[in-house]
Amino acid sequence: MPELRPAIESWIARLTDLSHRLLRLMLESLDAPAGFLDDVVDPDPQIHLKLLHYPGPARASEDAGEGQGTGIHNDLGLLTLLVQDDNGGLQVAVEDGKFADVPVIPGAFVVNLGELLEVATRGYVRATLHRVVRPAPGVNRYSIPFFYNPRLDATMQPLPSPYVDGAGESSTSPTTRCSPSTATTS
């Protein structure tokens, strides 16, 4: 499918720009400098796009609703912009042990907040715990998550007071090496 490459590259370029704008707006909403995280994403944020297909079981007799398409997790980076098809299936944690369906809104992105955004705001912004339930028998679910992360060689300082005063996390100021597969705090 050679026509897929330019479409995907254009999608990635536009979502990279959109994610950066969203990140700056989120920082502004905390009264923090909009560009506080520019240094960790510029000039080449680590981005990742997935084209996902979740096939439902072939027959109703097979495990239809219980099995999970994707287990419970947080995304590791800053922001995830995601489109899902009309079948839904994405769920977010709303309170202890409970999950709610993320409604399908045509033309809208789901925005998941990642663990590094939680670290950057010292816990003021919480990562979005989520999962995907397996489609019903005979249903094929498709989704396209786009992950927006710091540069792999970036070192991120969290927002200082007073922007995130009252944040839930510890008062120590973690410095985070940003490679998603090895993200650690110290």
Binding site for ligand AKG (CB under 6 A): 50, 52, 70, 75, 82, 84, 90, 130, 132, 143, 145
CB of 131: closest distance to Fe ion in angstroms?
8
* Residue 119 partner contact from Fe ion, ligand AKG, none using kind-dependent CB cut-offs of 5 to 8 Å: none
Asked if 115 touches Fe ion (CB under 5 A), the answer is no
CB of 75: closest distance to Fe ion in angstroms?
4
Q: Which segments of 74-156 are extended strands (E)?
A: 79-84, 90-95, 98-101, 110-113, 130-133, 140-149, 155-156
CB of 125: closest distance to ligand AKG in angstroms?
18
Question: Which residues lie below 8 Å from residue 47, measured CB to CB, with a gap of 6+?
Answer: 12, 15, 16, 19, 146, 147, 148, 149
5: helix, strand or coil? helix
Question: Which residues lie below 8 Å from residue 76, measured CB to CB, with a gap of 6+?
Answer: 114, 115, 116, 149, 180, 181, 183
12 vs 129, beta carbon nearer Fe ion: 129
186: helix, strand or coil? coil
21 vs 50, beta carbon nearer ligand AKG: 50
Tokens 């369906």 correspond to: 101
Closest residue to bound Fe ion by CB: 75
Using the rule CB under 5 A, which residue among 75, 76, 164, 176 binds Fe ion? 75
Q: Quick one: how far is CA 148 from the chain centroid?
A: 7
Query: What residue type is assigned to position 51 of the chain?
Result: L
- Scanning 68-76, 92-100, 103-111, 176-184 for contacts with Fe ion by CB under 5 A, the matching segment is 68-76
CB of 100: closest distance to ligand AKG in angstroms?
14
87 vs 157, beta carbon nearer ligand AKG: 87
CA angle 152, 157, 161 (to 5 degrees): 155
CB of 132: closest distance to ligand AKG in angstroms?
5
User: Which residues sit at the interface with Fe ion, rule CB under 5 A?
Assistant: 75
